[in-house]
Structures are given as C-alpha cells and as structure tokens.
Amino acid sequence: MTLETSFQRRTLPLEFPFTISRGTTTETEVVTVHVEDDEGNVGVGGAGPSSHYGETAETVEAVLPDLLAVVEDVGDPHQLARIERRLRETVERNPAARCAVSIAVHDLAATQLDVPLYRYWGLDPRETLETSYTIGIDDVETMREKTETALERGYGTLKVKLGTDRDIESIRTIREVAPDVRLFVDANEAWTPREAVSKIDRLAEFDLAFVEQPIPAENPEGQRFVYENAALPIAADESCITVADVPRIADRYDIANLKLMKCGGLREAKRIIHAARAHGLQVMCGCMNESNASIAAACHLAPLLDYVDLDGSLLLDADPYDGVPMPNGRLALAELERPGTGARLE
C-alpha cells in the first residue's frame, strides 16, 4: 500500500473575541493533515497548537514533514501502535503536530473499513454526551448577552471562564439568565490556593458542576489544599497533559481533563481515560480553538467520558470542515453518515 501525505495551514477567525485569564484571541491558526491511500481513501487530521504548551502553527509545519515521512514509510494506517511509537521517537515534543497525524491515520484506517471511528473502537454511539459551550471573560453585560445567545442556540451546558475581580458577579448574572443549564467554571490557573477556596465557597451557591484548574499546575501542594478544602469538585486541565500525570493528580483532583492537543494522539488519549478510571477519577475531554478536522475525532471518545467540552469548532466564525453532528450541543454519533471521524472538507 502506498500512502501520500500533505498538510495545509489556515487562519480561522473566531465568532467573538475569546478571553481567558491569560489573554484574548480573535482568531486561531490550525494545520490540517491529509493522508491518502492508493484507492482514493483520505484520512483527515488537524492540529490546533497552543503557545501555552510551546507550540505554534510554525512549529507544527516545521516537524510535520518528518512525522508524515513515518506514515509513508510504515505504509499501513492500521499499524497504529507502530506509527504512534515512531512518531514519538521522531519528535518527542510537539503534541499537536503528532496528534494531527494520529487523527488522520485513525480516520483513514476506519474509512478503509467503511465504519465510523467509534465502531472501529467497539464503542456504543448511544452512550454520548452534550458538549459545553464556553462563555469567555468579558464585562458582565457582554457575558449576559453571550449567555442569551447560547440559550437561543439551544445549548444546555455552559462553561464560564473566570479570573477577574468580578468573578462572582459574572456567575450571578449568568445564573439569572440561565437558571436551568448545567454550569461549570474554568479559572485557567488564575487564583492562589486560599483565593480559590474562598471563591469556590461563594460560587457553590450557584449550583456549579465543578471548577476547572483554579490554581497553577506548578503548585502541587496548593492543589492538594484546594482539593481538600473546596466546596465543589475540582478538574485538572493544565495539570493533566499525558498519562504520566494521572497518578500525580489522583489525590489532588476529582476530574481529569484530557485534550488531544496536549497528549499527542488518540491512543494516548485512551490511555489517559483508562488510567484516570483506575485511579477513581471522572474524565472530561476538552479542546483548544480548533477545526472539526480534530474536534470530530475527539467526539468519538464521548462514550468513554463523563463530560465533554468540545466546542472549539462552534466558537469559530466558520469552519471549512464538517464533523460529527452537534444539534443543540449533543454529540450525535449515531447520526454520523460518514466513516472514520466524519471530518470532511465542506
């Protein structure tokens, strides 16, 4: 079998400026990978690199030729373990770049068999979830308006970014607008341990599901303090990157939040899920600001998860790729009419 590979970089504007505690973005740069076999089957994967983890579109483009050379050399997309092992041996870091290749090869393997990825993995598409829709940091009135827009679009789970001196006011306002939605918040490491415990005590009155990454990942003892004293469950994002982190967070968090762009591939993502379960943690899959070229693959993990935060493509002004149907935010895997991940250029 002969495999031909290619990649393309795109700049995708966001629908609204997106602010977290570390800054504001108005667009995202993604790199899309295509792997085609000699019968015309195409596997699609995407990288949504994050500078917080040391990656940019430029670094992805720089290493992709070496990574794709591995795929061409192996020549069989079903040799997934061998391919991902060699990808790690070829490029140790750059997880988003490796993940784009991992997704494309998985997509091609399932497409060759004419089955969706969830079936290739032996998963039940009925065991699916509803993604959260993220409300970024803004002035309180704008956050109110964005919440009203989310409700009009039918989203029943909202994630709110925090990390300012008006955090409590913001959540109070959103709860007034959306009293019945499932709601959780993400501070992106913005608080100190004592500040986190104090704020979480006040936030608990607003019926939140959990609080994501309240303090910096570099403070493990502070994480333990928050975990032992907080009034709400705590989810690890920046503290949980690869499967090796799972034992380290098991006594400091309630939920492990994996992201494909952090961990470097779909096989590693599944290892994180199983390791987290073994340590008694719930599991969420999140995302960066990404296209369906990568979001679609993450959707197929939903039957293994407790929560999904896969709104990366929903936050774009327009996505050149179609993916898994998401009516009202529900990941409708059983309604997917294409094999593989379902990601296809519109």
Give 162-176 as a DSSP string: --STTHHHHHHHHHH
User: Domain holding 77: CATH number?
Assistant: 3.30.390.10
Average pLDDT rounded to a whole number, residues 189-197 = 98
**Looking at the structure, do residues 235 and 336 belong to the same domain, yes or no?**
yes
* Residue position matching structure tokens 């993220």: 134
Average pLDDT rounded to a whole number, residues 14-42 = 96
* Residue position matching structure tokens 């803004």: 138
Q: Please tell me the total count of domains within the chain.
A: 2
**Looking at the structure, do residues 138 and 282 belong to the same domain, yes or no?**
yes
**Looking at the structure, do residues 201 and 268 belong to the same domain, yes or no?**
yes
Mean pLDDT of the chain: 97
Predicted confidence at residue 127, as pLDDT, reads 86
Is residue 162 within 8 Å of residue 140, measured between CB atoms?
no
Residue 51 gets which letter from DSSP?
A: G
**Looking at the structure, do residues 143 and 92 belong to the same domain, yes or no?**
no
* Residue position matching structure tokens 């993990």: 301
**Looking at the structure, do residues 29 and 161 belong to the same domain, yes or no?**
no
pLDDT confidence tier of residue 15, bands split at 50, 70 and 90: very high
**Looking at the structure, do residues 123 and 43 belong to the same domain, yes or no?**
no
**Looking at the structure, do residues 60 and 173 belong to the same domain, yes or no?**
no
Pull the structure tokens for residue 202: 């006040």
The model's pLDDT over 111-135, given as tens digits with 9 standing for 90+, comes to 999 999 999 999 999 988 999 999 9
Domain end, chosen from 96, 114, 132, is at 114
Predicted confidence at residue 225, as pLDDT, reads 98
**Looking at the structure, do residues 46 and 105 belong to the same domain, yes or no?**
yes
The model's pLDDT over 283-316, given as tens digits with 9 standing for 90+, comes to 999 999 999 999 999 999 999 999 999 999 999 9
Contacts for 40 with CB less than 8 Å, ≥ 6 apart: none
Cα torsion 188, 189, 193, 197 to 10°: value is 0
Residue 124 gets which letter from DSSP?
A: -
pLDDT confidence tier of residue 346, bands split at 50, 70 and 90: confident
**Looking at the structure, do residues 272 and 142 belong to the same domain, yes or no?**
yes
User: Domain holding 130: CATH number?
Assistant: 3.20.20.120
Does the pLDDT of residue 324 top 90, yes or no? yes
Average pLDDT rounded to a whole number, residues 166-174 = 97
Which of 88, 97, 24, 16 is CA-nearest to residue 56?
Answer: 97
**Looking at the structure, do residues 50 and 109 belong to the same domain, yes or no?**
yes
The model's pLDDT over 227-271, given as tens digits with 9 standing for 90+, comes to 999 999 999 999 999 999 999 999 999 999 999 999 999 999 999
Q: Which domain holds residue 32?
A: 4-114
Print burial letters for 165-190: b (CB count within 10 Å at least 16), e (below 16).
Answer: eebeebbebbbebbeebbbbbbbbbb
Average pLDDT rounded to a whole number, residues 173-196 = 98
Domain end, chosen from 69, 85, 114, is at 114
